[in-house]
Amino acid sequence: MIIGLVLMFTGCSGNEDTTTENATPGQSSYDSGHFTISVPQDWEVVERASFTSNVPIETVVGFRSNLKSEIFTANVSISETPLPPEIGSQDFAKSSVVSAQKRLNSYQQLSLQDHEFQHGETSIPTYIVEFSGKQSPIEPIVQFKQLFVVESGVGYTITGAFLPNEQENIVKQIDAMLDSFSLK
């Protein structure tokens, strides 16, 4: 799944905007009907209808930084994966990490943090994982931050991707987006 996301955000464009104004200056709130996420107003929203054929079917939306790069443009994407009811957020996260290790060249896990995701009155134990890797030996190394949440048989993966030397304010925007993700 990660490989398709890297391809999606290096070569496609889309402009369908389904964001709404948020109380935070410079931010909009994207509402899918199942989840919400705060997005910097100057980031591009890439809807499923604009995806290229190499984007995994699980990906429902992407957000691309306004600071474009010829090499790689920082982005956040959200995917939804149907799961059996016995799979929890931590197991989903661990299996996703194993999948990334197998798919990416030069994979390096940078951190694995316990995280308590709040959903209403419920606290869901999960992980935020940070790692780096590249699609092929000739591609640049990309750094990823992922949050994994399972609710009602759906695994949500929120992925931030950026170059290791990305501007600090862009990385902070990605972190804020992961923190703002909430389920309805």
Predicted local confidence at residue 7, as pLDDT: 42
Predicted local confidence at residue 171, as pLDDT: 96
Mean per-residue pLDDT, 170-182: 96
Q: How far apart are CA 178 and CA 106, in angstroms?
A: 24
Instruction: Pick the range with the lowest mean pLDDT from 16-20, 25-29, 128-132.
Output: 16-20
How far does Cα 47 stand from its chain's mean position? 14
Inform me whether the pLDDT recorded for 18 exceeds 90.
Answer: no
Domain carrying residue 166: 2-183
Rounded to 5°, angle at Cα 128 from 48 and 134: 65
- Per residue in 50-89, pLDDT (tens digit) is 888 878 889 999 999 998 888 899 999 999 999 999 999 9
Q: Residue 81 is part of a domain; what is its CATH number?
A: 3.40.1000.10
Higher-pLDDT residue of 51, 173: 173
Q: Are 55 and 4 in contact (CB under 8 A)?
A: yes
Inform me whether the pLDDT recorded for 3 exceeds 70.
Answer: no
What band does 143 get if pLDDT is binned at 50, 70 and 90? very high
Predicted local confidence at residue 113, as pLDDT: 94
What band does 25 get if pLDDT is binned at 50, 70 and 90? low
What tokens appear for 151 in the block? 């609710």
Mean pLDDT of all residues in the chain?
Answer: 87
What band does 24 get if pLDDT is binned at 50, 70 and 90? low
Predicted local confidence at residue 52, as pLDDT: 81
According to DSSP, the residues that pair with 20 across neighbouring strands are 29
Inform me whether the pLDDT recorded for 159 exceeds 60.
Answer: yes
Predicted local confidence at residue 154, as pLDDT: 96
Inform me whether the pLDDT recorded for 21 exceeds 50.
Answer: no
For the chain, what is the domain count? 1
